[in-house]
Amino acid sequence: MAEERGIDWSSLWKKEDWWAFWLGMLLFFLCLAAAYGTDLMGWVVKANVWVDPAKAMAPSSANYEFLGPIGAWIVTYIVLLILTSIGAAAMGWKVGRFAAGFTVIFFLTWICWVIGHNAWIAATKPEAYNLPWSLHMTGEAGYIVALILGLLIGNFAKGFAEQLKEAAKPEWFIKTAIVLLGAVVGLKAPSVPPEILYNFLFRGLCAIVEAYLLYWALVYWVARRYFGLSREWAAPLASGISICGVSAAIATGGAIRARPVVPVMVASLVIVFAVVELLFIPFLAVETLWNQPLVAGAWMGLAVKTDGAAAASGEIVDALITGLHPEYAALEGWILNAAIITKIFIDIFIGVWAFILAVIWVYYIERKPGEKVEKLEIWYRFPKFVIGYFLTFLIILYLASGIAGSVPPDQVSQALAPMKLAVSSEMNGFRRIFFALTFFSIGLISDFSTLRREGIGRLALVYLICLFGFIIWIGLLISWLFFHDVHLLFLK
């Protein structure tokens, strides 16, 4: 196992997790300059709810109004193309194909994002736009439009989709967005008493116990007992279904030294089923749990697999509940954060779980004399982008708390205005773009014919039975136990 591995310093610039960290932190610090009088990133384009197409988008900051909507879009595209292409080159991807694919993906995603902001679809108060009605879906409807278009291309224009896949990197996009999300949450945190914030984080940490102690054991047992799968197949499948999708399946496959085909096939299942979950679970949560918004958010983190789909589901639930129910407007961002916190804590422990499985396999199942498992394996499996999330959260929390504490209470809002421009407008603008790119990319790489073509019907049946038979419902129960009525603490 890991006893032959030294510290691979090249992973700092060759791994997707680290590049999510570097890209997210770079954008974070560049945007943060606006809080101190130097607006470097106010050109990032944003979409507005619109009736008149001319007002559909604009720069995030008034300091860059001279660019106009098209100018802001072009600058945003060029800067993100350069930054992501640098990352692609460092990670050894085909830069030319990546740049071409990213250009198309960015263009199509932005069209979907703008369509989703049309007032007939997005407006929560249609009368404000002189409309008799709307679908009340908020601007986040653009995520669904992007997902649907991605699915259509991925399944019905496969040649075209294949040309774009070098740049369809939903895990990279969503992890970068999550790094920036830490700052967005950090700006809101000073308004929440510390004991409530600690309570929130503690509940998220406790809730993940079910992913490891309940989910994994049940799936492994069902796969072995009722479907006769070997340990080599049952362990990665249990991790893929119960913990963190693709990352967990790959980590588990490596830990038990499964053949390469095993985690690859499990990962393909994870992606397909994540899309299925994304298409209905968030809307079920909004319909049934709108009066328990943090339960709904946590449920997304515990039930929906892959970082991208879980975060995307949380974003939809957050937008719809706060948009349709103004009494919960103060919870904007916290619902999404309930999903992210539970998912991040699960991610953090993937390394620990892979280490535990490696120990079990080496010492008890395979029983290979003389072989040992190094504790450093935990670090290899640790999701590095999580460091960025907590860094941006803590930096903004520290800075915003310092500003708020240095002025009289009636001047706090004015004193924090530059910080809000940096975080709520600019960092959040980049975060939403990466979220939208994630939705489109998830759809693009989700080829539903994969299940039939790879001949993994029995694995798919285990996944289907376990996911919809008990995993999402246990996740709902745990979310309810830990987050029931917690939203009332935030609304006091």
Token digits for 124? 């929560």
Structure tokens that stand for 177 in this block = 């967005």
pLDDT value, residue 34:
95
Each residue of 157-211: pLDDT tens digit?
Answer: 999 999 999 999 988 998 898 889 888 878 877 766 676 677 777 776 776 676 6
Q: What is the DSSP string of 224-287?
A: HHTT---HHHHHHHHHIIIIIHHHHHHHHHHHTT--THHHHHHHHHHHHHHHHHHHHHHHHHHH
Distances (CA, A) of 479 to 274, 456, 485: 19, 32, 11
334-348 confidence digits (pLDDT tens): 898 888 888 777 776
237-264 per-position pLDDT tens digit: 888 887 766 667 767 777 777 776 677 6
Strands (E), 83-241: none
**Per-range mean pLDDT, top range of 211-220, 358-367, 454-463:** 211-220
CB 76 within 8 A of CB 431: no
Q: How confident is the model at residue 454 (pLDDT cuts 50, 70, 90)?
A: low
In the predicted structure, residue 293 carries a pLDDT above the cut 60: yes
d(CA 361, CA 234): 13
Contact between residue 132 and residue 126 where contact means Cβ atoms under 8 Å apart: yes
Q: Any bridge partners for residue 50, and if so which? A: 118
pLDDT band at 328 (very low <50, low <70, confident <90, very high): very high
- The pTM assigned to this predicted structure is 0.77
Do residues 350 and 380 lie in contact, with contact meaning Cβ atoms separated by under 8 Å?
no
Report the pLDDT averaged over residues 53-63. Answer: 95
Task: Name which residue leads in pLDDT, 471 or 80.
Answer: 80
β-bridge partners, 100:
none
Q: What is the model's pLDDT at position 2? A: 42
- The span from the CA of 344 to the CA of 348, in Å, is 6
Q: Average the pLDDT over 379-402 and give the result.
A: 84
Whole-number Å distance between alpha carbons of 482 and 203: 6
Above 50 in pLDDT, residue 1? no
The reported pLDDT for the residue numbered 3 is 43
